[in-house]
């Protein structure tokens, strides 16, 4: 497996949101920041290797083998992110770029030892679930803050947008995963929210609320 092949499989997986379903050439090209013609070339190669299903003009989808490979890359990516935050004091906005490199290191022993060192974490610093060694996913029961009803209460458990600017914004406003959150008011005009978080009150735009995942209290 080349690094490029691994990145394609990961992109296809992410575009399918974990589900099966066919992904378009253009969507993959955009995600990979490459051209559609390059995607077609790679689709043929991956199909040849039994990692994707590909029929001309019909889109691309992962085979079981392709899904397994994608999950193993994602597992490595997220474990490395946890490692960087927990053991090396990286902030959650710094880890992605480095994990993009580390996820391609080939050593089963290495990643298993990292997993053990971190005490087998279930989620990465952005709240995304870490697949187990055998590719099992533990997706959390969560919803976007923007989709929760007024007066609902919950715990921040993840971000939808994990770009550095958004994460830094959250830091600046002391919004962190694990914080409890309660919707005090919803503004009809701009759909901004008045919320209570860890004692204090603050106002949050719709854009922010639609990128924050919350686990509702029972």
Report the interface residues with Mn ion, using CB under 5 A: 81, 96, 124, 126, 128
25 binds DNA (CB under 7 A): yes
Where in the chain does DSSP place strands (E)? 52-54, 60-62, 143-144, 153-159, 180-186, 193-197, 200-204, 212-216
Of residues 84-113, those binding its own copies (CB under 8 A):
84, 87-90, 94, 97-98, 101-102, 105-107, 109-110, 113
Distance in Å, CB of 63 to DNA, minimum: 16
59 binds DNA (CB under 7 A): yes
- Of the residues 37, 91, 191, 205, which one makes contact with DNA according to CB under 7 A: 37
96 binds, among DNA, Mn ion, its own copies, none (CB under 5 to 8 A by kind): Mn ion
112 versus 171: smaller Cβ distance to its own copies: 112
> How far, rounded to the nearest angstrom, does the alpha carbon of residue 2 sit from its chain's CA centroid?
22
4 versus 207: smaller Cβ distance to DNA: 4
User: Which residues have a Cβ under 8 Å from the Cβ of 119 and sit 6 or more positions away?
Assistant: none
Asked if 160 contacts 183 with a C-beta cutoff of 8 angstroms, the reply is no
H or E element at residue 77 = helix 64-88
CA dist., res. 99 & res. 125, Å (int): 12
CA dist., res. 21 & res. 201, Å (int): 42
Of residues 116-155, those binding its own copies (CB under 8 A):
117
Distance in Å, CB of 57 to DNA, minimum: 4
1 binds its own copies (CB under 8 A): no
Q: Spell out the long-range contacts of 175-179 with Cβ–Cβ below 8 A and sequence spacing 24 or more.
A: 175/212, 177/125, 177/126, 177/127, 179/155
Distance in Å, CB of 26 to DNA, minimum: 3
Distance in Å, CB of 163 to DNA, minimum: 21
In the complex, which residues of this chain contact its own copies (CB under 8 A)?
A: 84, 87-90, 94, 97-98, 101-102, 105-107, 109-110, 113-114, 117
């Amino acid at each position: 497996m080349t690094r490029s092949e691994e990145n394609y499989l990961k992109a296809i997986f992410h575009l399918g949101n974990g589900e099966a379903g066919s992904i378009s050439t253009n969507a993959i090209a955009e995600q990979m920041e490459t051209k559609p013609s390059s995607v077609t070339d790679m689709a043929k190669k991956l199909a040849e290797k039994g990692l994707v299903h590909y029929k001309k003009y019909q889109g691309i989808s992962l085979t079981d083998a392709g899904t397994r490979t994608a999950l193993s890359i994602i597992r490595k990516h997220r474990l490395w992110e946890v490692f960087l935050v927990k053991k090396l004091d990286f902030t959650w906005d710094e880890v992605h770029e480095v994990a993009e490199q580390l996820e391609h290191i080939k050593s089963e022993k290495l990643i298993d030892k990292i997993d053990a060192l971190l005490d087998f974490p279930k989620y990465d610093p952005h709240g995304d679930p870490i697949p187990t060694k055998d590719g099992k996913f533990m997706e959390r029961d969560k919803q976007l803050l923007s989709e929760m009803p007024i007066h609902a209460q919950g715990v921040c458990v993840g971000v939808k947008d994990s770009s550095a600017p958004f994460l830094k914004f959250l830091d600046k406003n002391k919004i962190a995963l694990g914080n409890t959150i309660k919707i005090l008011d919803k503004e009809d005009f701009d759909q901004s929210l008045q919320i209570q978080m860890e004692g204090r009150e603050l106002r949050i735009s719709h854009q922010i609320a639609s990128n924050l995942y919350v686990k509702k209290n029972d």
